[in-house]
């Protein structure tokens, strides 16, 4: 006859065995987040420095005539960018968590947190697009949806099935929130810096503003974009 203690141990063992996949999932998420944040700590500072230099350069009337400086900034940004495997591992782990435990994913406000966590990815990824919109680059940059970082986020969004991330939480889709949170402010900052140097927004700037309009920006952000292109 089993003792109460033995029965309790047996019950606990059974419970842990049943919950094993969940613990494995959390461990995978934890490992992915840790690896990502290790890379992000160094990348965030370096990416911010590139944007500061870009905004400073944009105030110069001769900004478009500084291809060597811009090439150097582009190289610095590529060197600072977060490694794709770390980003892919993070998104993969989060997608697995969302699929296995949507309620827990929502209760943790994971989608909201990912907007801030992935901001360095969007910030680095949109640099060429913003620089081209500000006529800093001699050749046009591909649209946002054609970039690798955007494709990774879009895939994550596409696997969510849409809807909301939980009661009171914003939608689970990362892409529109990152565009509003990171990409639009970067464009506004550089275009305004260019205008202070006497530059007049051209076709590339207006095309960039039109592209952002596809992401249903908050009214205040949309107004700032329109003002930055002189609309």
Model pLDDT for residues 79-106, shown as the tens digit of each residue: 767 777 778 888 888 888 888 888 877 7
pTM recorded for the entire structure: 0.75
For CA atoms 48, 86, 25, 147, the dihedral sign is positive
pLDDT in tens, 134-187: 888 777 788 888 887 888 888 888 877 544 444 334 445 788 888 999 999 999
> 3-state SS string over 101-129?
CHHHHHHCCHHHHHHHHCHHHHHHHCHHH
d(CA 139, CA 85): 29
Structure tokens at 152: 């990774």
C-alpha–C-alpha distance, residues 204 and 146, integer Å:
16
Cα-Cα-Cα-Cα dihedral of 172, 177, 182, 185, to 10°? -170
| Structure tokens that stand for 172 in this block | 């689970």
């Amino acid at each position: 006859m089993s003792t109460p203690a033995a029965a309790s141990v047996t019950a606990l063992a059974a419970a842990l065995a049943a919950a094993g996949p969940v613990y494995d999932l959390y461990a995978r998420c934890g490992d992915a987040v840790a690896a990502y944040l290790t890379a992000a700590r160094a990348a965030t500072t370096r990416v911010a420095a590139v944007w500061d230099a870009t905004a400073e350069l944009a105030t110069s009337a001769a900004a478009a005539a500084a291809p060597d400086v811009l090439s150097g900034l582009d190289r610095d940004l590529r060197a600072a960018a977060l490694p794709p495997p770390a980003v892919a591992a993070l998104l993969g782990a989060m997608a697995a968590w969302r699929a296995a435990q949507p309620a827990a994913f929502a209760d943790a406000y994971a989608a909201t947190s990912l907007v801030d966590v992935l901001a360095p990815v969007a910030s680095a990824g949109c640099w060429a697009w913003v620089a081209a919109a500000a006529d800093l680059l001699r050749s046009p940059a591909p649209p946002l949806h054609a970039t690798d970082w955007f494709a990774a986020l879009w895939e994550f969004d596409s696997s969510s099935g849409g809807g909301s991330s939980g009661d009171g939480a914003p939608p689970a889709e990362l892409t529109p929130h990152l565009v509003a949170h990171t990409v639009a402010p970067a464009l506004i900052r550089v275009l305004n810096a260019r205008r202070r140097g006497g530059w007049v927004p051209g076709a590339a700037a207006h095309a960039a503003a039109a592209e952002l309009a596809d992401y249903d920006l908050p009214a205040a952000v949309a107004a700032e974009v329109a003002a930055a292109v002189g609309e």
